[in-house]
Amino acid sequence: MITFINWVNKKCYCENSRISSLQRRVLATFTHFLCVLAIAFLYGWYAPHMSCTLNISIISGTLGLYITMVVVSHFLTVNAGSLSSSLMGLYVIFLCWCALKSEPEENCMRKGGSDHTSKIDVLTVISFVVGLLTIVVATFSTGIDSKCFAVLKREDEKHEDDVPYGYGFFHLVFATGSMYSAMLFVGWNTNHSMQKFTIDIGWTSAYVRIVNEILALFVYVWLLRNKHE
């Protein structure tokens, strides 16, 4: 997802881009508005009263991550920070929504929320299938971008038969993505019994989503730092 956001940002800000400066600013402003609107929706839907302290803390933490990305991106990439930070904000807020949706208790949802045991969550199943396809794409794209994560950069001779990605990093990303998908079936907890046609429901799943938000921030800042250097 971060690679895709960087690709969109690069296309919008390249010299041959057909998008004008005004259109880029309007797009960035609109996506930032969506981020604020999404945060307000999460507060209104998943924290309707002050007793929902956990959900309020999760949403407030996500808001803090979003503000951090905006500030850091503007310091590191002045010309392209606004759009990329807004798109990353939408992604982090989406992870926050997934975390809140994975909570087994629904006391803090408006109108009692949805019954996980009484209906098939079609959206969850579709998201899982899309996630499998995303893992394949992310494996190749992240493998190609593996040099961005290198602590010590060195210039090696390039040969014609060299592949654009590292084999070791390629298999590491693919194995990690496969294990991530497998853990969704058990809700990240083998002692937690999953209901029929439910995926990724449980407190452990919710906490994993929160950790994903923090990791997304670190990876985003790391890539910005390498790009800036």
Query: What integer pLDDT is reported at residue 1 of this predicted model?
Result: 67
Most confident of 77-81, 131-135, 155-159: 131-135
* pLDDT for 103 beyond 70: yes
Tell me the C-alpha to C-alpha distance, in Å, between residue 200 and each of 137, 140, 157, 191, 193. Answer: 22, 25, 45, 14, 11
Calpha distance 136→149 (Å, rounded): 19
Q: Give the mean model confidence (pLDDT) for residues 161-166.
A: 59
- What whole-number distance in Å separates Cα of residue 1 and Cα of residue 7? 10
Q: What is the dihedral of CA 40, 7, 80, 14, to 10 degrees?
A: -140
On whether the CB atoms of residues 189 and 202 are closer than 8 A, the answer is: yes
Closest alpha carbon to 205 in 222, 219, 218, 192: 192
Say what the pLDDT of residue 92 is: 92
Higher pLDDT pick, 171 / 154: 171
3-state SS assignment for residue 93 = helix
Confidence tier at 119 by pLDDT (50, 70, 90): very low
Instruction: Please state, in angstroms and rounded to a whole number, the distance separating the CA atoms of residues 200 and 50.
Output: 27
96: tokens are 């926050």
Q: What angle do CA 79, 80, 84 make, to 5 degrees?
A: 160
Q: What pLDDT shows up at residue 60?
A: 95
Instruction: State the pLDDT at residue 118.
Output: 42
Regarding predicted confidence, which is higher, 111 or 35? 35
Determine contact, residues 114/217, Cβ cutoff 8 Å.
no
